[in-house]
Amino acid sequence: MTDYDVIVAGGGAAGVGAALGAAKAGARVCLVEKYGFLGGAATNAQVLAYCGFFQRGEDPVQVIRGAGEEVLATLDGMGVDRTAYRSPTTGNWIVLLDPERLKLGLDRVLADRGIDVMLHTRISGAVRDGDRISEVTLAGMDGAFQAQAGAYVDATGDANLSLVAGQAMQVGDGEGRLQASTVPIRIGGLPAGLRIDRQKMQAAIAEFNHRSEHKIDRHDAGIYTKVTGTNDFWWLVIDRAMPDLTSASFTKAEQTGREMAHTLVEVLRDTVEGFEGAWLAQTGPQLGIRETRHPAARYDVTHDDVLSGRQSDQGVARAAWPIELHTEAGKPIYEFVGGEGFFHVPFDAIRAEGLENLYYGGRVIGADPHAYGSIRVMGTAFGTGEAAGVAAALTSGAGTAPEVEALQGALIGVGALV
Ligand SMILES: Cc1cc2nc3c(=O)[nH]c(=O)nc-3n(C[C@H](O)[C@H](O)[C@H](O)COP(=O)(O)OP(=O)(O)OC[C@H]3O[C@@H](n4cnc5c(N)ncnc54)[C@H](O)[C@@H]3O)c2cc1C
């Protein structure tokens, strides 16, 4: 049996935020990640931009500091350009990512804080004892073993710790509808300085739809940019509707997405000037999953919280990314944050209903289907993850959940904005 103060499940933005927050608050921390690297969707699904670090508007007003800022500063120190870029069409600010330097930077930042990282290891079981999780089962390369902590953070994106702990769940929007998944693709072999003409990309999609039995629904040519520091082209255009959470559906989405990615690059080579030498540099390792299941929290952030930019004396993290819904594949819908340009995530949204020592970070926090379209981005996940990690550290130390004022004070103490 291995003992920790805090065990964090998942090593995406939320898990990294949670582990850093808990360690800075003095806890002995273990982070468990099923892949061989950290970063979550940024490194396992080629989601190559951090959204949610800044408010929308003329100037980049930062709403996530603390652990998220520590990661950006580490990347900066490794020569990654952390400049925020503003979309001329939406007014949103993003930070572009280099996935390989991100993996290395995250290894370093967690090592510097003395966090035990277990890669190739997944949370596969949990023992629930009344209103507490008493231990978890970790399945690694050398088999399964038990580990104990005073408190736990579910930062798995898919609520896998909560699932094995028997927490109540809602799939998708409550009626079972799931946000579409997307296969982000990275295309190499392009000349320096190539200017992308959206109309030509739209024409390529029309040609793709003519050639392929699987169709691309994003007739507007989707979202694309250059991969920072390279001539590679990053494209979010292949959406796959997810009917359910069965392995059969995920297998089909992965396989058809892959077929489509190869055919799309063939079409670009054949039809778009500048793409004659293009090749598919990367998909994956897995497709980008927007939504799976939501574990029961003590509060769900609401559509109105986002639209009104609601601030709260219960707030433990700020969130500023607009609502971005992909309920119908290929037809995203946007709604912007009101008020001063950010809303608060209240403490109860990161607390598991009915469990005293389980916290949520990232896209598993409590949110209604509209608010979920905002809170799931990675910048915000650093913030909610850090709040969950610090709350877990305090819970482990005291044996009981902290008062919100104590948590807010501890978060400010570790450099977070609340
Ligand atoms: C196509 C697409 C485009 C997107 N575009 C953007 C964008 O441009 N910018 C942005 O900020 N956000 C974007 N998002 C949203 C964002 O990527 C996710 O919502 C975000 O990554 C959530 O962070 P997280 O840390 O909660 O989860 P994740 O990033 O999913 O990380 C969860 C981690 O937990 C691990 N894990 C899962 N189960 C277990 C287990 N049982 N044991 C151990 N480890 C486990 C996973 O391997 C993973 O590393 C996009 C999402 C998609 C799908």
Q: Residues 55-90: pLDDT tens digits? A: 999 999 999 999 999 999 999 999 999 999 998 777
Our mutation pick for probing the ligand 1 site, out of 47, 63, 386, counting the most ligand atoms within 8 A of Cβ, is: 47
Provide the sign of the torsion angle of the four alpha carbons 56, 59, 60, 62, taken in this order.
negative
Using the mean position of ligand 1's atoms as its centre, give its distance from the Cα of residue 275 in Å: 30
* Residue 216, pLDDT score: 96
Confidence at residue 327, expressed as pLDDT on a 0 to 100 scale? 78
Q: Pick the atom of ligand 1 nearest to 122's CA.
A: 42
Tokens of 264: 């799309």
Mean per-residue pLDDT for 252-269?
98
Q: Is the pLDDT of residue 174 over 90?
A: no
**CA 171 – CA 271 distance, rounded (Å):** 41
pLDDT tier for residue 274 given thresholds of 50, 70 and 90 = very high
pLDDT at 363 over 90: yes
CB neighbour class for 399 (10 Å; exposed up to 12, middle 13-18, buried from 19): exposed
- Find out whether 313 and 377 touch, Cβ atoms under 8 Å: no
Q: Which two tokens stand for residue 403?
A: 């008062």
pLDDT one-digit tens code per residue, 176-226:
899 999 999 999 999 999 999 999 999 999 999 999 999 999 999 999 999
Q: Which CATH superfamily is domain 2-174+291-413 in?
A: FAD/NAD(P)-binding domain (3.50.50.60)
Q: Which residues line ligand 1 (CB under 6 A)?
A: 9-15, 32-35, 40-41, 44, 47, 49-52, 122-123, 155-158, 160, 182, 184, 236, 288-290, 362-363, 376-379, 381
State mean pLDDT over 318-336: 87
Q: Please give the span between the terminal C-alpha atoms of the chain, in angstroms, as a whole number.
A: 36
32 CA → ligand 1 middle, Å: 15
Domain boundaries, the chain: 2-174+291-413, 181-283
Question: How many angstroms is it from 194 CA to the middle of ligand 1?
Answer: 30
Atom of ligand 1 nearest to the CA of 290: 53
152 C-alpha to ligand 1 centroid (Å): 18
Determine if the peptide bond prior to 285 is cis (ω within 30°). Answer: yes
Structure tokens at 133: 């999780």
Q: Which two tokens stand for residue 381?
A: 């996940």
Q: What is the pLDDT of residue 91?
A: 86
Q: Which pLDDT score, from 0 to 100, does residue 328 have? A: 75
Distance (Å) from CA 10 to ligand 1 centroid? 9
CA of 247 to the centre of ligand 1 (A): 18
- When pLDDT is cut at 50, 70 and 90, the band that residue 329 belongs to is low
Q: Whose CA is nearest to atom 29 of ligand 1?
A: 40
Per cent of the chain over pLDDT 90 is 93
pLDDT band at 1 (very low <50, low <70, confident <90, very high): low
Nearest CA to ligand 1 atom 8: 49
Mutate to test the pocket of ligand 1, among 7, 20, 31, 33 (most ligand atoms within 8 A of CB): 33
Q: What is the model's pLDDT at position 99?
A: 95
> What was the pLDDT predicted at 88?
75
b vs e for 131-162, b when ≥16 Cβ sit within 10 Å of the residue's Cβ? Answer: ebbebbebbeeeeeeebebbbbbbbbbbbbbb
Q: Average pLDDT for residues 341-365, to the nearest whole number?
A: 98
